[in-house]
Structure 1
Amino acid sequence: ESLPNFLAAKDFREITGRIAKAHRKGKPVVLGMGAHPIKVGLSPLIVVLMEKGIIQAVAMNGAGVIHDFEVAFAGKTSEDVSAEIGQGAFGMVEETGRMVNRAIIDGWEKGWGIGRSVGEMIRAGQFAYRKMSITGAGARLGIPVTVHVAVGTDIIHMHPQAHGGAIGEGSHRDFRLFASVVSQLQGGVYLNLGSAVILPEVFLKALTLVRNLGYRVKDFTTVNMDFIPHYRPLTNVVRRPTLEGGKGFHLTGHHEIMFPLLAAAILDKIE
């Protein structure tokens, strides 16, 4: 409340108020995210918000689940692409390709989507840093974590263990699960954190699907957070979904600064 009530600070205050209100009324707060928030260390904070029941579902792209696994497995993630691409070594780490692909196949055979498949593997594994895993937290808490893949964009697709059928069907199962989450978004909040293409497109399709099926999802809040504005998030998250009700917001800033500030403000309002 100490922030000035002008411009972006005014939006920030309104966003935190809307999230707190949704939480108090039992309405869903859903986080859609790219991989960069994981790379800059936000996973533990996201897990805390899941544990407190504030974030009730998470959707991520294919790179997100890779970084999530590596954080749980090694406590860190990322590599120097420029140094590795010339030798054809980029993305060729053995453990990530083998273990994530194996988890996807095992889960696919059980009828699971990719998010649950990797989350259950992390939850059951003896990973030193598994408490920092978003998919692992989803499996532990019973919170939907969905993974939305564009085939060929992720390093695990290059590995011999990659199974196109398992990846494709697993991601499609997750799309259906995500759509079921979106169907209950009336009065809730959808945040897009650092996904410029995949999640804005997935969200728009899930929204039109559930509206086509007769679900009333008109009055809700959308928030896009990224360090530069992009066309698809501004159009498919902030503007189009709220044309018939609700309100969309955009906050510009680095994830590692803005999201902790947002989380602290939300926790201050509800605790």
Structure 2
Amino acid sequence: MTAGSFATLAFERALPVAPAVLWQVWTAPAARAIWAAPSPVVAVEFLEADSRVGGREVSLCKVAGEPDIRCELGWLDMVAPGEGALDRAAGRSVNYEVVSRAGVSLSGALVTARIAAEGGGSGLQVTVQLANLAEDMTAGYRAGFAAGLDNLAALARRVMVIERVIAAPPAAVWGAWWSAETLPRWWGPEGFSCRTRRIDLRAGGEWVFDMIGPDGTVWPNHHRYAAVIPEARIDYALHWGEDGPKHADAWVRFEEAGGATRVTLGMAFATEGEWQEAKGFGAEALGLQTLGKLAALLG
């Protein structure tokens, strides 16, 4: 193929995770930043990321000794599993992508993804309608997309998703979450309390604190905050104690749901072993207890 030509590329993956988990891995910027690089020699830098309809994602693919490749992505349609008129176990997204180098547009594409329950897990189907502009990008697009989806499949096996609908508008839920006064009052499972050592709630900020269990056991924690979109999203990293090893990249999303707020908490653990350990001690149930305390605070 040559510049000015068109191609349709199709990709499929079957994963042993629930559609709601796969949806978060596919759309959440914190997760996309982990699986986006097609190979170890490529570093992907996200300049902007807003995964809502009308939002866009801008990233640079960097390879030593070569000009950066810029990708601009815009979300045109997003229906999460369980929403809209689709099968409640299915979801879809549509986005455009424009790839450029040194200010020259190399390709444009329309990407349609469908996520559906399949055999106890999920199936992901992605169709890329590609227009080659300045040069033929077909082979590179096919290889890069396939490698990225392989990364996504590996990541999905170590992601945990916890969700609750809270009977309060997003502004109220956000206010209770993003407040140095109220956050320590409800954070943690039932019977746990927080002892704050340092708190600075902003993009680039942090929260250093101890979780104290019902029996007095102390677990040091350190949250480092990355991207923050008020009333919509917080991305952060979880560390074992102040400046300790990172054990997860996390995000929380706030979405209006008929006058209430759907709160989705996602965690991508550093290893599948850490995910299994968290699963084993009941992290999902404990996370739901934490969101229950938030709901109780809001009345």
- TM-score computed with the length of structure 1 as normaliser: 0.26
> Comparing both structures, which one devotes a greater share of its residues to strand?
2
Q: Of Structure 1 and Structure 2, which has the larger fraction of its residues in helix? A: 1
Higher relative contact order (CA 8 A, sep 6+): 1
